[in-house]
């Protein structure tokens, strides 16, 4: 089953619903949908809230994802109710859970964890580098979920249920059924180690390049075989190696942000094309007290949650949303 496009109207409804209600269960403190976090690579184990963008010279860290000597934090994911963030700690061999107030605690131990994802049925999957995916939903009963050919990094769960993993040899695998099935493969690229995957609310799917000279972000919508004609954006004039690694897309606004490898800035690549990393105008966040890897993630938007009894205004707004949705379906 290939990637299914989101209807924009459905996500617009979600945005209005989220705005009118505090999207949380009664008494449950949660992370805010749409907030943006980045975690440190080779700079201690700090996690920063960079939702506001701008100059982070004097930034205060939001949380720790491990001890001071456990560096190389990786991808982040959230529980379905947004009450917990989970982040991998590669060199610490651990996964930490983080609370909305920034306090954190050890959740599980897995050798060399990198990518992490929450599935649609609320399982937590983590990729132990280079090739084993574990189910750590029950930290006391960790089981093997899938094995992937080659070396792999980040994961992404699509709305249609596929669980995609960015891997070496220019390959993206789908492990939804517990086996690695080729979803997409990119040919003709000099450096074919892929890094991070994300999608927008139009159903477009993107994957970043990897080490060395891989400064590209590819559009791999629909899966299959891709080549240089499918490049969405290319990073030019990066500092350090600047390979295109961490990717985050806001599923409401479709803003696309990229964390180039071993840099202290985040680029806005929403426009696509050649993105000049030396230009300040292209930097969403800069002067961060960390170097980046593939650890930049938006807090997701929740499709539905129980909420307190709505006010009259809220009921009216929901009625308008429903009417708009019905009209949209009739016209589709």
The CATH number of whichever domain residue 288 belongs to comes to: 2.120.10.30
For the stretch 261-288, pLDDT in tens is 888 899 999 999 999 999 999 999 999 8
Would you place residue 62 in the very low, low, confident or very high pLDDT band (cuts 50, 70, 90)? very high
More confident residue, 71 or 304: 71
Q: pTM for the full model?
A: 0.82
Quick one: pLDDT at residue 204?
97
On whether residue 185 sits in a domain, the answer given is yes
Quick one: what percent of the chain has pLDDT higher than 70? 77
Q: Is the pLDDT of residue 167 over 80?
A: yes
Q: Is the pLDDT of residue 145 over 90?
A: yes
On whether residue 317 sits in a domain, the answer given is yes
Q: What ranges in 134-293 are assigned the alpha helix state H?
A: none
Quick one: pLDDT at residue 312?
38
Would you place residue 97 in the very low, low, confident or very high pLDDT band (cuts 50, 70, 90)? very high
Residue 154 and residue 115 in contact, taking contact as beta carbons nearer than 8 Å: yes
More confident residue, 58 or 72: 58
Q: Is the pLDDT of residue 68 over 60?
A: no
Range with the lowest mean pLDDT among 48-62, 168-182, 235-249, 268-282? Answer: 235-249
CB atoms within 10 A of CB 99: 15
On whether residue 122 sits in a domain, the answer given is yes
152 backbone φψ class: left, alpha, beta (φ>0; ψ -120 to 50): beta
Range of the domain at 320: 8-331
282 token code pair: 């292209």
39 token code pair: 């975690």
On whether residue 30 sits in a domain, the answer given is yes
Quick one: pLDDT at residue 39?
85
More confident residue, 327 or 265: 265
Average pLDDT over residues 105-113: 94
User: What is the SS3 assignment for 258?
Assistant: strand
Average pLDDT over residues 290-302: 84
Q: Is the pLDDT of residue 123 over 50?
A: yes
On whether residue 3 sits in a domain, the answer given is no
More confident residue, 260 or 182: 182
Quick one: pLDDT at residue 3?
39
Average pLDDT over residues 193-216: 85
Q: Is the pLDDT of residue 240 over 80?
A: no
Average pLDDT over residues 69-76: 75
Residues 216, 243, 79, 1, CA torsion sign: positive
| Cα distances (Å, whole numbers) of residue 204 to 158, 168, 221 | 11, 22, 5
Would you place residue 118 in the very low, low, confident or very high pLDDT band (cuts 50, 70, 90)? very high
Number of domains in the chain: 1
Q: Is the pLDDT of residue 180 over 80?
A: yes
Average pLDDT over residues 88-109: 92
Q: Is the pLDDT of residue 50 over 90?
A: yes
On whether residue 80 sits in a domain, the answer given is yes
Cα distance between residue 301 and residue 303, in whole Å: 6
On whether residue 72 sits in a domain, the answer given is yes
Give the list of residues 6+ apart from residue 82 with CB closer than 8 angstroms, or none.
Answer: 23, 24, 30, 31, 32, 33, 299, 300, 302
Cα distance between residue 159 and residue 269, in whole Å: 23
Would you place residue 22 in the very low, low, confident or very high pLDDT band (cuts 50, 70, 90)? very low
On whether residue 2 sits in a domain, the answer given is no
């Amino acid at each position: 089953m290939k990637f299914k496009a989101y209807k924009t109207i459905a996500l617009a409804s979600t945005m209005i619903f989220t705005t009118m209600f505090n999207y949380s269960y009664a008494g449950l403190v949660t992370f805010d949908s749409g907030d943006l976090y980045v975690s440190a690579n080779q700079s201690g184990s700090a996690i920063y809230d960079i939702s506001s963008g701008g100059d982070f010279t004097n930034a205060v860290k939001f949380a720790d994802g491990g001890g001071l000597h456990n560096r190389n934090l990786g991808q982040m994911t959230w529980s379905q109710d947004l009450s917990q963030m989970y982040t991998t700690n590669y060199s610490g061999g651990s996964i930490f859970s983080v609370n909305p107030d920034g306090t954190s605690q050890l959740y599980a131990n897995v050798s060399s964890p990198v990518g992490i994802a929450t599935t649609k049925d609320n399982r937590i999957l983590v990729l132990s580098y280079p090739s084993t995916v574990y189910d750590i939903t029950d930290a006391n009963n960790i089981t093997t979920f899938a094995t992937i050919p080659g070396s792999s990094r980040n994961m992404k769960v699509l709305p249609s249920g596929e669980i995609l993993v960015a891997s070496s040899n220019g390959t993206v695998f789908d492990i939804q059924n517990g086996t690695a099935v080729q979803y997409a493969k990119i040919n003709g690229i000099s450096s074919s180690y892929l890094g991070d995957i994300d999608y927008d609310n139009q159903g477009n799917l993107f994957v970043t390049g990897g080490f060395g000279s891989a400064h590209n972000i590819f559009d791999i919508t629909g899966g299959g075989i891709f080549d240089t004609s499918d490049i969405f954006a290319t990073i030019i004039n990066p500092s350090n190696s600047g390979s295109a690694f961490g990717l985050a897309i806001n599923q409401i606004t479709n803003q696309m942000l990229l964390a180039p490898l071993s840099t202290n800035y985040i680029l806005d690549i929403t426009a696509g094309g050649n993105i000049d990393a030396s230009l300040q105008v292209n930097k969403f966040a800069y002067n961060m007290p960390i170097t980046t890897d593939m650890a930049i993630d938006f807090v997701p938007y929740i499709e539905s949650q129980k909420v307190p009894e709505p006010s009259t205004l809220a009921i009216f707004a929901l009625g308008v949303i429903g009417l708009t949705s019905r009209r949209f379906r009739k016209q589709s």
